[in-house]
Structure 1
């Protein structure tokens, strides 16, 4: 059903999409966005709340919401689901100690109703 809604959105003239970038704290979400945007990534501060970056790609306008991953903010992730076409889950694969926590949070996220 999600794929169908994305396909319908692609047919619209507007072609604006909202993407949600989530994952544990210090996974690299903000760094990825900065890199895509051509910004310096010498030091990226933790995201408190959320940041929105808008990108133009082909005929599309992509609004990417970078949501903070701190434990105290995770219960608020569901508040960002409304009008979101896709969720991008970011994993720090180098941080082996947190892969279990990462998996558990992703499973909890997938259980949420949209």
Structure 2
């Protein structure tokens, strides 16, 4: 196929830009997950004291991912990033049993936000590579995800460290974007 053919095909099928909001408590693995998705080095991750933005290509979409810090002092500012969110991705450290109630409360508050009403929700049950990790099905039950009726949602077991489960989650995201954009 020649260059002209490639250019014509690209012009006919412009990629759609999508805004993903990546939230979760500090140390849940949000930045590691984002760097894995962007195929970047994950050996030197530091806590996010603000936000990171990366564009990732997936299934014909340009995914603009906003990774917002999860420290308690930063969380009140999350609402500044809600506008025009196409998909909310919430990351949970599945091995941190002590903070499950806190992460559940933060997620509940996010789901009550008017600006995020109806926005599809992907929950990454991260750190499944650790022996202390709670299985995604058990987390779903503990978070009462079965009562969510106002949006599409999915919980995906993953490990940001090994990248296992990340592509499955992003496939779900792209499938939901396609459905919503119709």
Q: What TM-score, normalized to structure 2?
A: 0.54
Alignment match, 2:108: 107
Matched, 1:79 2:80: yes
CA displacement, residues 55-79 of structure 1 (integer Å, 9 cap, x when unaligned): 1123211000000000001011111
Q: How many residues align?
A: 103
Q: Which segments of 5 or more consecutive residues in structure 1 lack a partner in the other structure? A: 1-11
Residue aligning to 1:45: 46
Aligned-residue CA RMSD (Å): 1.4
Question: How far has the Cα of 1:26 moved from its partner?
Answer: 0.4
Q: Stretches of 4+ moved more than 3 A in 1?
A: none
**Which deviates more from structure 2 when the two are superposed, residues 84-93 or residues 40-49?**
40-49
Question: C-alpha distance in 1, partners of 2:102/2:59?
Answer: 36
Q: Distance in 2 between matches of 1:111 and 1:41?
A: 33
Q: Distance in 2 between matches of 1:60 and 1:54?
A: 10
Higher RCO structure, 1 or 2 (CA under 8 Å, sep 6+): 1
Corresponding position of 1:54:
55
Q: Where do 5+ consecutive residues of structure 2 fail to align? A: 1-12, 116-182
For 2:84, what is the secondary structure of its paired residue? coil
- Tell me by how many angstroms 1:13 deviates: 4.8
Is the CA contact 2:51–2:69 (under 8 Å) kept in the aligned structure 1? Answer: yes
